[in-house]
Amino acid sequence: MKQIGIIGAGNTGANTAFFLAEKQVGRVVLQDCKEGLAIGKALDIMEEAPLARYQFKIQGTDQEEEALNSDVILLAFGAVRQPGQDRTSVWDENRKLVESFAGKLKGFGGVVIIVTEPVDASVTLFQKVSGMEPGRVLGIGGALDGERMRYLVSQELHCVTEDIDALVIGRHDKSMIIPQDYTRVSGIPVRYLMDQSSLHAIIQKVKHAGDVVLETSKRSSAFYAPAMVTADIIRAILNDSRRMFSVSTVLTGQYGVENAALSIPAMIGEHGAERLFEPKLTDEQLQKFRDSAAAISALV
């Protein structure tokens, strides 16, 4: 039986556990260092199992060893930024946690997914310390940003999201790259379906989407959408679906970048990012991509 270990039972971790149960993906072990937190949240989810007809169990625990003995491990721990802060503001605190768990998972043969902010720096540091194959350490940055793009385009055009494809690459912050030609509605580039000012406004909204959630709620950063995207990636791994996601992973020469994690399209299967793709970029976009890689390297 496939098992997913989730380290951190906060909003993103617990909701990922819920979505995995809904998708009938596999057994989940939810862990948190705060005594009783993961146990209580797992119990809450499982008490709806008779209605939802879950096939797999969600187990809560205070012991991280139970969660680390899994096929896929999600790291969903760490400090969350406050309104007015950018993602790097929590790096000093979160890098210690990332480094600690990377040391514990040296030699791990499964796949690690990271949502801890800043995600690209977290993926870079984790892979460096753990020594795991780069494709087995993933962050959700570009996949989440792409879903936000799809949603906002659907709202502008009043069409269903199922007809929309969007690609977001690079760093999971305001410097992300959203090539217009790769956002399409039923195969038609979106720039042919709306005026440039409307499209530019949507791109800016995507770049600031996390900030809007944080500033509006006043209390917490986004977690429903990140949790759903994470659950979708985990399902692709455990089902060996070979689906395409834009994920943050340490690059090995793609776009001229090495030893830094940024989001690019990847074929996701049982071994993680099994193949990386390099869609054509303009010279300006390529330079922005490389500048982002340099910034991540400087952080780590």
Q: Identify whether 172 is a catalytic site residue.
A: yes
The rounded distance, in Å, linking the Cα atoms of 49 and 94 is 34
Report the topology of domain 3-141. Rossmann fold (3.40.50)
Tell me if 59 sits within 8 A of 30, measured CB to CB: yes
The model's confidence at residue 160, banded by pLDDT at 50, 70 and 90, is: very high
The model's confidence at residue 85, banded by pLDDT at 50, 70 and 90, is: confident
Q: For residues 126-130, give the mean pLDDT.
A: 98
pLDDT by residue (tens digit) across 203-241?
A: 999 999 988 887 887 667 889 999 999 999 999 999 999
Tell me if 80 sits within 8 A of 94, measured CB to CB: no
pLDDT by residue (tens digit) across 161-187?
A: 999 999 999 999 999 999 999 999 999
Average pLDDT score, the chain: 95
How would you list the strands of the sheet with 184-185, edge to edge?
A: 164-165, 184-185, 188-189
| CATH assignment of 142-299, among 3.40.50.980, 3.40.47.10, 3.90.110.10, 3.90.180.10 | 3.90.110.10
Q: Which of 158, 172, 200, 271 is catalytic?
A: 172
Task: Say yes or no: do domains 3-141 and 142-299 share a fold.
Answer: no
Q: For residues 23-46, give the mean pLDDT.
A: 97
